[in-house]
């Protein structure tokens, strides 16, 4: 009788040390593959924001140019109203300043715009939330039209060379 009371019931309680080690090894392997993917997400988001800004600038330039053509504003100077804002023009394209392309874009708060004088004038946008390691590879540049035969241009780095970390 006493012998039966001292025996284990046969039911296992808890995990063995080997089972715990196996689970920890599996979690370590999963973490080794998952962590690098999550670290790269911020760089991908910055690249996507820069590409989105370049697309916004291109479509804004096309919209303003279309309005200028429709209103006959293709001379060296002029204005067209875009959503209640008068956008200044040079040869039918927005000027590269606060009353031109910057006014047409209205509010691009997450990017810092820097106008540069000089023939032709340019406006450069750099993401404001971080300092790029290589600014030339993390910016969008708008160059205003220099003449009736030299249209405005929007340039951004090729996707493979974007470096906004």
**Smallest Cα–Cα separation from 137: which of 119, 115, 164, 117?**
164
Q: What angle do CA 82, 157, 153 make, to 5 degrees?
A: 40
**Smallest Cα–Cα separation from 59: which of 150, 163, 147, 142?**
142
Terminal C-alpha separation, the chain: 74
Question: For every one of its 165 residues, what pLDDT tens digit does the chain have, with 9 covering 90 and above?
Answer: 555 555 555 666 778 888 899 999 999 888 888 777 776 677 777 788 888 889 989 999 999 999 999 999 888 889 999 888 899 999 999 999 989 998 888 877 677 788 887 777 888 888 776 665 566 788 889 999 988 888 999 998 887 777 776
């Amino acid at each position: 009788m006493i012998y039966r009371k001292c025996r284990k019931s046969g039911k296992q309680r808890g995990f063995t040390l080997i089972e715990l080690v196996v689970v920890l090894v599996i979690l370590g392997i999963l973490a080794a593959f998952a962590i690098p993917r999550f670290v790269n997400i911020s760089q991908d988001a910055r690249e996507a924001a820069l590409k989105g800004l370049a697309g916004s600038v291109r479509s804004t330039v096309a919209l303003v140019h279309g309005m200028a053509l429709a209103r006959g504003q293709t001379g060296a100077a002029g204005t067209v109203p875009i959503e209640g804002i008068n956008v200044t023009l040079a040869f039918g394209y927005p000027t590269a300043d606060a009353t031109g392309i910057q006014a047409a874009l209205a509010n691009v708060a997450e990017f810092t715009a820097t106008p540069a004088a000089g023939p032709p004038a340019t406006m450069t946008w750099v993401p404001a939330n971080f300092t790029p390691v290589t600014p030339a590879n993390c910016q969008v540049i708008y160059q205003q039209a220099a003449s009736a035969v030299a249209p405005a241009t929007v340039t951004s780095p090729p996707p493979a060379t974007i470096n906004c970390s």
